[in-house]
């Protein structure tokens, strides 16, 4: 079994051999400071439909050893160092402590404010820990990332990035806009991550991509922001394709809406749900795998990617398709592509 901290004995390493090591993607320990450091956040208290994202960091770690290390777009970028940091030793206990409260709030459709407040209080602690981890990574000169968990997981990283890189833009790939001011009474809901993040003054632009389930008040929020939020909805993408626009041209329009420094927030349900059937809230439509990797490659060539997250990967509920590793396999490959995009987007000394 792989260990969550990515530690393994020093040994001669053959990148073409089967991935048998304990580190993420089967990598050995990196000599020096790994340039991409990923914070595992197994937190899903507010997940309001399907659950299972809490197990994503471990499942993706296990599946990651199947990824061949020489990437056809980014080359041997893994040599710069990619590690999964240790998970907070108390985070599992925190999750367990609020599980009953969270489930009661969800079952009541948001009519249990005291119980929702208890969940939000623990979420505050999760965000504070992620924020501290992100700052430690940034202090080391590395690129920070979060592997969730539900989509509330990366708030602490977004806070740190917005402070260190004021004027940053967010590329938000998702089936949903996540702009609700609260959901089911949870202030820190997975459906509210960008309502909360856009209160951070360092975030200059929020570019949404592949949104296809969106509320009327969320659309009003997009309009009220006066250009700070730019949406390339799934309907917009379909119309552009029907009108003869190539995906390369669409990607260039998306990238043109972003400032020089970019943070990528990737909810796996932004993809076609055939690629992520167990994700918490799957929606028909979305990006194909080919569209995703072409977009990331073009983004990497045009902008500096200063951080990223991957959220809402679910290996499936216990007892359902227990031997089906498809979601974790896709999640591991998405994580690898995101790391390559970030590492290849700026010089090593940047």
Q: What is the CATH number of the domain that holds 205?
A: 3.40.800.10
What is the reported pLDDT for 91? 86
Q: Give the contacts of 140 (CB within 8 A, at least 6 positions apart).
A: 33, 37
Is residue 263 situated within a structural domain? Answer: yes
Is 142 contained in some domain?
yes
Residues of the chain with pLDDT under 70: 1-11, 20-21, 45-51, 108, 110-111, 182-185, 188, 190, 316-323, 346-350
What's the pLDDT at 319? 40
Assigned domain for 270 exists = yes
pTM as predicted: 0.92
pLDDT given for residue 339 in this prediction:
98
Residue 36's domain comprises 24-343
Give pLDDT, residue 350. 41
Omega within 30 of 0 (cis) for the link into 35: no
Please check whether residue 179 lies inside any domain of the structure: yes
Question: Can you give the pLDDT at residue 199?
Answer: 94
Query: In this structure, is residue 127 part of a structural domain?
Result: yes
Q: Is residue 18 part of a domain?
A: no
Question: What is the predicted pLDDT for the residue at 127?
Answer: 94
CB 167 within 8 A of CB 261: yes
Domain assignment present for 296: yes
Enumerate the β-bridge partners of residue 205.
Answer: 169
pLDDT on residue 1: 36
Alpha-carbon separation of residue 6 from 65, 190, 307, 308, 316 (angstroms) = 12, 27, 20, 19, 24
Is 348 a member of any domain?
no
Decide: 125 and 98 in contact? Cβ < 8 Å: no
CA angle at residue 276 from 273 to 278, to 5 degrees? 105
- For position 53, what pLDDT does the model report? 81
Domain count, the chain: 1
CA distances from 84 to 71, 89, 148, 206 (A): 19, 14, 12, 27
């Amino acid at each position: 079994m792989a260990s969550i901290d990515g530690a393994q004995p020093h040994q001669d390493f053959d990148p073409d051999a089967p991935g048998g090591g304990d580190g993420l993607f089967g990598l050995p320990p990196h000599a020096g400071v790994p340039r991409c450091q990923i914070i595992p956040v197994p937190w899903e208290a507010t997940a309001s439909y399907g659950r299972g994202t809490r197990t994503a960091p471990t499942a993706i770690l296990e599946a990651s050893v199947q990824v061949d290390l020489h990437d056809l777009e980014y080359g041997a970028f893994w040599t710069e160092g990619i590690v999964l940091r240790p998970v907070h030793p108390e985070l599992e206990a925190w999750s367990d402590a609020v599980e009953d409260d969270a489930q009661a709030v969800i079952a009541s459709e948001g009519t249990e404010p005291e119980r929702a407040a208890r969940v939000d209080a623990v979420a505050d602690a999760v965000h504070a820990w992620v924020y501290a981890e992100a700052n430690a990574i940034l202090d080391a000169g590395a690129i920070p990332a979060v592997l969730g968990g539900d989509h509330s997981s990366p708030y602490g990283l977004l806070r740190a990035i917005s402070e260190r890189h004021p004027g940053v833009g967010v590329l938000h790939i998702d089936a949903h806009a996540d702009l609700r001011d609260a959901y089911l009474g949870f202030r820190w809901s997975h459906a509210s991550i960008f309502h909360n993040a856009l209160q951070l003054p360092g975030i200059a632009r929020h570019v949404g991509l592949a949104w296809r389930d969106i509320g009327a008040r969320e659309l009003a929020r997009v309009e009220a922001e006066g250009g700070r939020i730019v949406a390339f909805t799934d309907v917009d993408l379909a119309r552009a394709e029907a009108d003869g626009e190539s995906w390369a041209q669409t990607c260039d329009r998306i990238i043109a809406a972003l400032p020089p420094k970019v943070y990528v927030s990737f909810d796996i349900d932004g993809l076609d749900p055939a690629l992520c059937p167990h994700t918490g809230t799957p929606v028909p439509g979305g990006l194909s795998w080919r569209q995703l990797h072409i977009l990331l490659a073009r983004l990497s060539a045009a902008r500096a990617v200063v951080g990223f997250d991957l959220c809402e990967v679910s290996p499936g509920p216990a007892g359902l398709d227990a031997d089906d590793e498809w979601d974790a396999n896709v999640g591991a490959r998405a994580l690898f592509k995101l790391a390559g995009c970030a590492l290849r987007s700026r010089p090593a000394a940047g």
